[in-house]
Amino acid sequence: MALKKLSDYQKIIGNPAIESIRNSAAPLEGKSITHVNATSIGGGVAEILNSLTILMNDIGIHAEWDVIKGGQSFFNITKGFHNALQGQNVALPERKKKIFLEETERNSILTRFHHDLVVIHDPQPAALINYSKKKQPWLWRCHIDITSPHPVTWSFLEPFLKKYDGAIYSLDAYKKNLGIPEFIIPPSIDPLSLKNMPLTESRVRKNLTKNNIDPDIPIITQVSRFDKWKDPLGVIRIFEQVQKKTDCQLVLAGNMASDDPEGPNIYKKLMKKINANSSITTMLDQGDIFINALQRASSVVLQNSIREGFALTVSEALWKSTPVVARPAGGIPLQVLQGKTGFLASSEEQAAKRCINLLKNEKLRTQLGQQGREHVKKNFLITRHLQDYINLFRSHLT
């Protein structure tokens, strides 16, 4: 695909919105920004940065994107950070701290910070600020749920975070009173990406059939990393309840992000569980076009997350006019409006009942799907995200 331009979104958001973005970005023309995170493959952060950096450059901001490097032990430790920040009791002995800081220092040597502004994403590269000659504003962008972090990990990371010039969260509830300015910017989906662009019905069916999924049997889907926080085993239990009441199939589609060493083990456990049920299919790393087709073909999309930063897979489904049944974790309630774009369910029994209701009621599915697409259009597209960043950058650079 050719590099996208802001003007490509005119048919979706209208010319006045396009002009507003360009006008507000004018004072930033020629300014340089760098984003730094832990992976370029897998997960919502990488998808967002792929689109944002392209669009920022199109409107005159020199935006770059750098990915830190590290060995298996480093990413095992940072995965522990991720789990601990979401509340899990994860040991953090001095040995792990030493490995993390040594790898961070090496990355500080490999990463150039000559830009006018630096945005560091999530905990993995957060300590870079400790090893860099800071000559510009640094912002820490947190994409995960840190409402109740484990105190040991938080006390280790907090001193680094307090050195930043600001912190950005997806939800107001995630603010941590770091003594620095704090900002709220919800994440977004790109409606023109391979995962979200329009597909013909024939292309949707072709993608399903070539992956041995029958498009004529109602589909329940969860799209997520193979991660314990997404509770894929709970999804299977929900499906087993639904299957007793109505004909359907379950597809669990996910990927393995390069910074998530736990994924393969979760996937192995899942495969053992599903072998006994021929109506369950797992799809691993099938690519964005397949995920696009699957979300469009699904009658219901589940998001059974125990903890969640935001769950952009919800907005992906809603954008395709597919209703969502989900746990009320993280940013999900901002996307799933009860009875309007889908249903929030606090138990597996509730989730199963909602799925059964939707599978048996095409009119309700259509109504919620249409309302879901409009909700995403107004609130969770990449163009809104771009505008939010422009506003934030202007407050630091002009």
Burial class of residue 135, CB neighbours in 10 A (0-12, 13-18, 19+)? exposed
213: left (phi over 0), alpha (psi -120 to 50) or beta: beta
> pLDDT per residue over 20-70, tens digit each?
999 999 999 999 999 999 988 877 899 999 999 999 999 999 999 999 999
Tell me the domain boundaries of the chain: 14-188+381-397, 201-379
pLDDT of 257 above 80: no
Under 8 Å between Cβ of 81 and 142: no
Length of the chain measured in residues: 398
Structure tokens given for 57: 């450059």
Alpha helices in 7-115 (DSSP H): 10-13, 15-25, 44-58, 72-85, 94-110
Among 116-130, 147-161, 222-236, 345-359, whose mean pLDDT is lowest? Answer: 222-236
- 64 by DSSP, 3-state: which? strand
CA atoms of 156 and 212, how far apart (whole Å): 48
Cα-based distances in Å from 55 to 28, 58, 381? 13, 5, 13
pLDDT of 263 above 80: no
- 193 by DSSP, 3-state: which? coil
- Examine domains 14-188+381-397 and 201-379 and report if their fold is the same: yes
Arithmetic mean of pLDDT, 366-381: 98
Give domain 201-379's CATH number out of 3.10.180.10, 3.40.50.2000, 3.40.50.300, 3.40.50.720.
Answer: 3.40.50.2000
Q: Which fold has domain 14-188+381-397?
A: Rossmann fold (3.40.50)
> pLDDT per residue over 74-111, tens digit each?
999 999 999 999 999 999 999 999 999 999 999 999 88
Q: What confidence score (pLDDT) does residue 190 get?
A: 98
Q: Alpha-carbon Rg of the chain, whole angstroms?
A: 21
Q: What is the reported pTM?
A: 0.93
10: Cβ contacts below 8 Å, ≥ 6 apart? 18
CA atoms of 222 and 224, how far apart (whole Å): 6
Under 8 Å between Cβ of 304 and 231: yes
The number of angstroms, rounded, from the C-alpha of 231 to the middle of its chain's C-alpha atoms is 16
Looking at this protein, which amino acid is placed at residue 65? W
CA atoms of 315 and 245, how far apart (whole Å): 28
CA atoms of 65 and 56, how far apart (whole Å): 11
Q: What confidence score (pLDDT) does residue 265 get?
A: 80
CA atoms of 240 and 311, how far apart (whole Å): 24
The number of angstroms, rounded, from the C-alpha of 290 to the middle of its chain's C-alpha atoms is 18
